[in-house]
Structure 1
């Protein structure tokens, strides 16, 4: 009995001695029980979008295994791996990007003697899908534009979120001098020392990392300091049409190399859109969107750098009305002159009429309402020359001025009457009228087609009462008016008379108008998605609208930037910005008289090709009416 008590006492003492158990050590209360300390300090580290590295503390033991458990979202823990107790790291692979995972571990005795409590829990959220770093920028160039400024430019490669610009001097180390967004391909380094050599390199970056550096570019600033020019002033903007804005400014310098035009759309950022030569004081911004707000500023530049900016101006397209055209004046008597014009807008409040006498200054004499196209100026003095101009207006401002016209009061002839027009062949119309005066020098004959504007097509001598108009086209309505004239001026206009030559059933006629998306196929009104324009004196337009009307097909190759037009066995191929084409495989100049004529692309991505070259090669006839800016295509040509 004393021996048993002594043994128990020794066990109690041993228990007291080892009451502060070292984690991972085993204490045997009886031969079938083992107590395991829990793993501690569990951590989780994101390695990739699909991998998490786990790490924990545990005394190595050959008697235990580590059970690793995981759950995601609101799920329950599940065992994902069992590893030896001698290991304290584990890589969890094959995970989903952008997902949160929660982990815990425990130790389990090899012979089912028991298991530890769980470690602490940790969570890790994998990042989104991996993004490849961008490619290196290329073609970096550096150009010294003044003694204090070097301009950089490069070629973008895609996938970049931004650029990092670095610079060094000879013998120095590269330092970051700028960070730019990914849409930029230029950088201005200013405030430099005269006569110094600078080296540059750039690299792009995105969420996947940095690209390699570009090529190295170098430039040396001139040692002679040149002052920047004086800034321009009095910048003004006028909206003469729905797709253009005309700018003018004062040139206050005599040493500029040119001017830089900058524009912003709405509340956007300014972007340089054009560089013009020295002594320039105007610019027309074309191809604009209707009903959009544009702001402009101008600066001068030379070897010393850029001047300050001019004042800013802001205008909105399709707000100010378009300028009226074709203003004409008819002297009706010694005290009266009649004006007429073409209304080219649909948003005017009215028209302002200005007049000057002799070489005097213009004064506004009257206003007339919207859609008016005529005005009679009365109470004039005899034998006096009066000159007129008009402009449309609305709440946004004035249009540009019309053309100027003059008339001199005096003994003008009487107005002819009874004008009539008769079709006498498939290309001829006969006119006849009554001569009501005895002092005319002759008669002026004017004609318009469709809803276009009148233009003078002929004059005949005194006492004439007839005229034959030849070379006309079928299925076109021709409208005529005449007036007598002498040295005192023009009579009033006669009545108008119209005639239409019947169409040849074997022909197709297409009428298009410069700057207007509306066009006609056999007098059926249609609309295209981009208006015809004139470049280098030639008409360019989206050719598919004409091609489809005459049974031709149009194909576009984005890889080659090529337009192919086919009809029957005829094949015409043209390339963007190339002045040569192929017709049935034979290469030729698009316009031998003007080598600058070529297909182009205009905003917002419309392909415009030379009309005459294509349709004439398809056997069409092309007629041009400059007065109404009309192109008429007849197919076939016969």
Structure 2
């Protein structure tokens, strides 16, 4: 890092009757009687001043000016000092040093440090210096400016996206008024110490006004109280009233400069929610969520059949959509019938994120859906109640892994309800589709040597992405609907009470359709009556009921009723459609009870079963 100094003399022609003394600096290389300003490193850093203007009132002297980096390297920490001199060259007053109004940038060597006085090559900054006017200053004819700063190529821009919108108006005194607002256009990046500077030039390109204002609220950001903060997506308005005549400045002669601070950089967050879809026999589309605001792009990795390690197939400088969704299509040589594995990470200049979830996809027609069910349901709306047959299914059939499950091995969470073990076939079965959380839990269990092989096989099978693009619904052998992959239910409203219906479903993609699942048969009517009800006394205080519902194909569940002695039947519980048992734990040994069971759905209850007592 190097430091440079530049000095410029500005000759002021005094015109006291005008009330203001204006001067345009046309000679950036110095002034008569002084050497040219110094430059460092063979002239790579060159700062010049231009558009300088001295505004003099009865009480104050203000000097405005513009600073431009005409060198070949960025500069930072740029400061200006002004010497006010009389006709004889004597210094009347020294003002400064003051930081110029530059561009906010971050130091790579100290990422949490933001310098608001930087200029890249070709960029312009501004300065405004003022001094109270005394009798000596009334004789000021020359302003000598000195610029100091640091040469630094290790600067980087900020991540937030800020913008200013301005309008100009003429007030009642024919003076210029500047209105506008400052907006934080970022996604997820809050800013603080927000400041906007408005610069106005006259038709002679002299700066006649520089106004600054801090905008924002006092807010807590990342557990720290911040002043003048603007939340991402919000904006704040501003007004500048000036003493400049309106007709001397055009709207195109007004520029703005925005400075702010934001959170320091870090490696990006990992992308998430990676999903794969098959577009053709040679195209796989990856869809994932961008969880960062500071990434430069993404690195796509793929493992082909027979390969032991992932290979990076793409460095992609992509921009996520409005909902932070990123889409990438892999069009590289894919083999039909083979399984490919994908993952992705985000990167920036500080490094890589962690990987996203890993997903696999088979280049083939899809697997069959699983667990197709048909139920009679009803929906209420302002126009009335609609009763229909609702189909539901899982995206793929159950996964299975051949293994002997050792004693003492237990599953937890949702896996406890979804994984069963067929001890006769020595098969570990996962019921239905597997969620991302379940995959994570299963992968963790795969490290246990007691059932590592079984879980690894099951995880591998269940972790193959569903490659369907939709589902076809068939009723009585005729296709009645196609459903997108984001749905696993379908309501058939075109049904008639008393009719029997048979449903099947297939999954399809660009390579074909799966085998059909079903048929599942259902009667669109009230359920049949449960049969073979029995009651067994388990103890003096509980009775167990069992019944047969094999002749019923349309129940939503069963309602259990009992009465004490010669009293009325009351409902004491319900059982879902898969259940055929119920235990009554509220029994008085000295009382006599009678039980019955009804099946029910949205169309009503069945007739009650036979009445049985223990």
TM-score normalised by the shorter chain: which range applies?
A: under 0.3
TM-score by length of 2: 0.27
More relative contact order, 1 or 2 (CA 8 Å, 6+ apart): 2
Larger Rg: 1
| TM-score of the pair, normalised by structure 1 | 0.26
